[in-house]
Amino acid sequence: MAEQDYFSEGELVSVLTTQPIDRPLDYKACEGGCHLGAFVEVPLGPRKVIGVIWGKGRGGFDLSKARAVTRVLDVAPMRPEMRDFLVKCAAYTLTPLTQMLRLATRAPGLSNPPSMQKILRKGAAEPDRMTDARRRVLAVFEEYGGLSFTPRELAEHAGVTPSVIKGLVKQNVVLEEDTPRDLPFPRLEPDYGRKELTEAQEAAAGQLCDKVKAGAYASTLLWGITGSGKTEVYLEAVAETLRRGRQALVLLPEIALSAEFMRRVEARFGAKAAEWHSGVTMTERRRTWKMVGEGAADLVVGARSALFLPFRDLGLIVVDEEHDTSYKQEDGVLYNARDMSVLRASLCSAQVVLASATPSLESWTNAQSGKYSLVELGSRYGEAVLPELKTIDMRQVKLPSNRWISPELESAVKARVTRGEQSLLFLNRRGYAPVTLCRKCGEQIGCDHCDARMVEHRFQKRLVCHQCGESKPIPEVCPSCGAEDTLAVVGPGVERLAEEAAERFEGARIAVLSSDLFGSARALKAQITSIAEGAADIIIGTQLVAKGHNFPLLTLVGIIDADLSLQGSDMRAAERTFQQMRQVSGRAGRAEKRGVAMLQTYQPDHPVLRAIMSGKERAFWHAEADERRATGMPPFGRLAGVIISAPEPKDAFDLGEHLARNTGPLEAVGAQVFGPAPAPIARVRDRHRVRLLIKAPKDAPLQSAIRQWLKGLKLPNQLRLSIDVDPQNFY
Ligand code: ADP
Ligand code: ZN
């Protein structure tokens, strides 16, 4: 029997709200009735909250007590496949459904009536007298062929003050009108700025477009080195999706920083795509959310949370740089946007294209086994070739203890500065120095709330904890023994490296790119753009620069510490290092000039570095896969992490031990439990953390076993438990 999809006034409906209640609540449908999936406002206690009509009410109580839905909101109802997606996503990540709905309604003012804004258009009157400023305003209208502008846009385009525009409004030269704020996005033209593709690109694009035409779910790994033209290829799949009248979503890891990508999309399709990330204004967020639901936004370019937008007819999801760890949300709902993209696509007959130069082992394995199709792009587009790779054996280099740039790298940078080319010095460590210690008593200054060392940030003149964000002034005396002038910093961060570079490369223009040095994403974005245009000779950067920005003048990449990410016990250390080194060195020489990448290392014979140097990627992936297969680790087995935290370590341990003793439901599916053990960072924000790790065979119904295992568990006050299905990190 089909699900009832309309409820007339007074009928009992169940409403899922975003409030932390574990189930939908019953209400009476309001005047005019409610459709299944409608977004509504309902009373809850003294408040009004947002919810979605989830189905028929359950009843079983005195109906005269049921409260009524206040009103239906002026937004498109939630599609059935979206409800399905939220339910499956909740089940997969073991998250309450109400929390999933909160992810899917992250737009401000959804319940507001559509607000109005002032826009300006050209009127018929002539100004009483002409000035330069006025002429510029009229020229803007001329140039844009009768478009309308907000007052701010017009002032910016014309380069005039608001008073000039006000003067023109008074004389009816410019007309002021009120229009609804949430305007549809302009249509994108699939054939607008189509580039001539190379033969290889054409073949790859053809494969993707055929899948789009078929209109059924399929997933593809688009694998090609940096600069091979993957973006150009997947934009063809976007174009084909638009031709079919369906919507497309492109996910990017650092989209808030990428003005370049948005410009590229505009050049390709003749109009701006919708953007969704933390750097977008509230008004624009709401507009995007609503227009996506009405089918009035063809393409969204966004960060991982864009996956939860209410698309009317989503036909394609591209996950660019699919290996990037930022696709995993590490707080709140612990989900991996890459994996959930595949789920979402499968529920709405869409394509998913995972693009990378260095795929995750998961995706690589899926492509090997035929679960995903594989589309490969071999060489770089045009002249550009992969950079020449070199290791610098730091064991042979004698550097003073406060220096990190080897002579070989130094002279390579100098040569670039002379030739007017750019160099990148890569060090994945924010701040000035990772350790501050007392030379007298040996104390290393730590955070008061976490088991972590404080990192000196010299620009801010503070010590900062990278775990909890707490900071304090740099102390004058040792906080432990009270000695004066004994504190010394150990090791480099990007700020300290910049100091060294300033000494060594006198007169060169040096720019530091690190997320904490900029007040806003906008400021950082502006800086990246100006650097790309040549405003710096030497770029010093953290992993920010590894992600997709194009620096056409860059011909040298120096990796200061290639060993850094190899440390640690994480099973993904090798994979991550491989990806990061490949990505960073891929920044060099994208235009006509061949680049050079120099990797400073104390372990030039490490298998990962050897794999990078030899260029035998497949050999590397096979070796990694064999090792994981042999040990039953992902993607050949499954993991879930359990973190218990409490103000008192004993409470966390007691619960951990209790859980570790009662593992019946887990054993029943062949899962093993390890722990409890203190988490690698055993205290964060004054909470002690204890970890259990569940390991299960690949096909085990892990989530339902965990649900059984925790069923009926009453968490004592102050204790928190979170479950991380498919954990990426183990801290
Ligand atoms: P990837 O996404 O694999 O890193 P891109 O698609 O960004 O590669 O391409 C690298 C560079 O080459 C970009 O500057 C892009 O504009 C250019 N490019 C790629 N393909 C073409 C093409 N068919 N015609 C013109 N320029 C292209
Ligand atoms: Zn801290």
Tokens at 101, concatenated: 């709905």
Ligand 1 contact, 224 CB (< 6 A): yes
Tokens at 567, concatenated: 């440390």
Name the DSSP letter for residue 474.
Answer: P
Domain boundaries, given as residue ranges, for the chain: 6-103, 116-180, 199-377, 388-433+491-624, 637-725
Q: Which fold has domain 6-103?
A: GIY-YIG endonuclease (3.40.1440)
Q: At what angle do helices 573-585 and 607-614 cross, to 10 degrees?
A: 30
CATH superfamily membership of 388-433+491-624: P-loop containing nucleotide triphosphate hydrolases (3.40.50.300)
pLDDT tens per residue, range 395-421: 999 888 889 999 999 999 999 999 999
Ligand nearest to the CA of 465: 2
Give me the CATH code for the 637-725 domain, please.
Answer: 3.30.70.600
pLDDT at 392: 94
Q: How confident is the model at residue 296 (pLDDT cuts 50, 70, 90)?
A: very high
Q: How far is the CA of 446 from the centre of ligand 2 (A)?
A: 8
Q: How confident is the model at residue 145 (pLDDT cuts 50, 70, 90)?
A: low
Answer whether residue 519 shows pLDDT above 70.
no
Q: Pick one of 3.90.120.10, 3.40.50.720, 3.40.50.300, 3.40.50.2300 as the CATH number of 199-377.
A: 3.40.50.300
pLDDT at 607: 81
d(C-alpha 137, C-alpha 534), whole Å? 32
pLDDT at 700: 95
d(C-alpha 595, C-alpha 107), whole Å? 43
Out of 39-43, 280-284, 374-378, 603-607, least confident range = 280-284
Three-state secondary-structure class, residue 707: helix
Is it true that 199-377 and 388-433+491-624 share their CATH fold? yes
pLDDT tens per residue, range 322-372: 999 889 998 889 999 999 999 999 999 999 999 998 899 999 999 999 999
Atom of ligand 1 nearest to the CA of 382: 12
String of DSSP letters for 624-677: HHHHHHHHT-TTSEEEEEEEEEESSHHHHHHHHHHHHH--HHHHTTT-EEEEEE
Give me the residue label for tokens 């190899």.
566
Name the strand (E) or helix (H) holding 678. strand 672-684
Nearest CA to ligand 1 atom 6: 229
Overall average pLDDT of the 384-391 stretch:
77
Atom of ligand 1 nearest to the CA of 233: 6
Choice between 618 and 311, residue whose per-residue pLDDT is larger: 311
pLDDT at 134: 92
Q: Which fold has domain 116-180?
A: Arc Repressor Mutant, subunit A (1.10.10)
d(C-alpha 48, C-alpha 111), whole Å? 10
Atom of ligand 1 nearest to the CA of 225: 3
Atom of ligand 1 nearest to the CA of 232: 6
Ligand 1 contact, 227 CB (< 6 A): yes
pLDDT tens per residue, range 621-647: 888 889 889 888 899 999 999 999 999
Give me the residue label for tokens 């060993």.
563
CA distances from 177 to 149, 150, 161, 164, 368 (A): 10, 10, 20, 18, 58
Mean pLDDT, rounded, of the chain: 88
Ligand nearest to the CA of 447: 2
pLDDT at 504: 95
Out of 222-236, 386-400, 454-468, 573-587, least confident range = 573-587
CA distances from 411 to 402, 492, 506, 540 (A): 18, 20, 13, 16
Ligand nearest to the CA of 252: 1
Side-chain-side CA neighbours of residue 319 (13 Å): 29
**Do 685 and 707 contact (CB within 8 A), yes or no?**
no
CA distances from 516 to 39, 410, 475, 625 (A): 38, 26, 21, 36
